[in-house]
Amino acid sequence: MKTPTISLILLLILACSLAASAAGDLLQCLSTKFDNYSSISNVVYTTRNSSYTSILEHTIYNLRFDTESTPKPQVIITPEHESQIPPVVHCAKKAGLEVRIRSGGHDAEGLSYVSRVPFVVIDLIKLNEITVDAAAKTAWVGAGATIGSLYYRIAEKSPVLAFPAGGCLTLGAGGHFGGGGYGLLMRKYGLAADNVIDARIVDVNGRILDRKLMGEDLFWAIRGGGAASFGVVVAWKVQLVDVPEKVTIFRVDRTLEQNATQIVHRWQYVAPSIDKELFIDVMISRPSTAQSPANRTVLVSFIALYLGGVDTLLPLMQRTFPGLGLKRENCNETSWVESTLGINGFPIENLQILLNITQPKGYSKQKSNYVKKPIPKQGFEGIWEKFYKDEAMDGLTFLLQPYGGRMAEISESAIPFPHRGGNLYLITHLINWGEESARDSESYVRWSRRIEDYLTPYVSSNPREAYLNYRDLDIGVNNVVGETSYKQASVWGRKYFKNNFDRLVRVKTMVDPGNFFRNEQSIPPLRSKWKKGE
């Protein structure tokens, strides 16, 4: 290995000193913005604070972005009130620091807490208040609140109200709603973002704006367009939806020996067109019994939520999907809030779990695609082969989420999230590996790309659509630190937003022309020196 040159060493020292200087400038600026700096000192963490590392790592779930070489923020701010955020925005600009905004830490590529230039993290974890108005069927949700806590607070007020957000209960509302937010109620009620009716955002000028003050263009953009491109959303007002007192959940597992290939092939025709009260998704994994080369099989799990009782569900399934062989003993009638636990394999009797769930940490890489035509049986057989590779030993999962129903009724341009009619389902492949394989992380990432290549003939094209909340930096990778041009951004922008990308760029140009709120896949403003398509 070559010895670093003196000039390179000096450059690294200079970079570190500049970063330290920027952090000092930020803190000095903040001290002038508050009459009593001690009033916020308990929410400001620098690398010298003993709690810095625990605060940073608390909601980092993907350990690919928690290594010694991962760039760390100069300062972490955990505001306890929205009024503490405008001074941070002002002072970060003055100190020349980028801002990253974190609400839950599920960021697939770590963009909410990693940057390649000196930066500060605004962690919204303490802005987690939830206020439910059961009479009006609305709720205000702090951006740092988890989806599980939202479900719990709704259930406190009413057994027949719900909200169509994610099945993963540790998601933070901020990023989840801002990127769209799908879940088991989406075929009935659409996405979380479809049901947002107001919001509070701190803009680049430090103003705290609600829907009326921000205007309809910005309100449109933050619901599914990636809110962190436009400001710091501190709270969302959502429209709650009606559910029956009793719903039914089930899980049916089938292996290849139990005709899983035929059943999942048929699922493609049934799940997107069946009654919108029924959501049946598919999880494909490798059972522990398949570890031996002599016992090669795949486990296909059909997991469902039905907004009704089992006596109505069984004849519906017999008419439309008899090949699954659903039986009464596979089903469990619960309240809706209990179903959110049961679907995840938790005991439904203890709702307090919704407030205390801990997300497991690990190494992972995921990619998403949209399927518009049923995949042939031989296409699935090729997927099964992926589960027999050595890389699958740690954990490979395919998730198939059906569309149709309400998702097909909403216009592509209603909000920035464009994946509506014409899509049968979202297909995601997720690779997990453990600490013992951490040094081989790049090999797992490359394997994920090979799986992506395999799927090419079976998924959407021109553009090859992808889901924003499953960010993938393999799409339109920008290796240059600094500004992203319209042309660079449109590579991934078309995949995430299709024709809505141009409107997002116009809104960005209007509200943040200096591109202060940015990351590797944020919406860029148009520059006067740029020509569209440059």
The secondary element (H helix, E strand) that includes residue 15 is helix 6-33
3-state DSSP percent of the chain in helix, strand and coil, to 5: 40, 20, 40
Long-range contacts of 202-205 (CB under 8 A, 24+ apart): 202/82, 202/85, 202/86, 202/89, 202/231, 202/232, 202/234, 203/230, 203/231, 203/511, 203/512, 204/89, 204/93, 204/231, 204/511, 204/512, 204/514, 204/516, 204/517
Number of Cβ within a 10 Å radius of residue 291: 12
What residue type is 144 in one-letter code? Answer: G
Burial of 35-73, coded b for 16+ CB within 10 Å and e otherwise, reads: eeeeebeebbbbeeeeebeebbeebbbbbbbbeeeeebb
Assigned token pair, 75 = 């300062």
Please enumerate in sequence order all residues whose Cβ is within 8 A of that of 133, keeping only pairs 6 or more positions apart, or say none.
Answer: 139
Contact at 8 Å (CB) between 308 and 244?
A: yes
> Which of these is catalytic: 45, 61, 403, 470?
470
Annotated active-site residue 152? The verdict is no
Alpha carbon distance 55, 113 (integer Å): 11
Please enumerate in sequence order all residues whose Cβ is within 8 A of that of 177, keeping only pairs 6 or more positions apart, or say none.
Answer: 141, 165, 192, 193, 196, 223, 227, 233, 236, 238
Positions marked active-site: 470
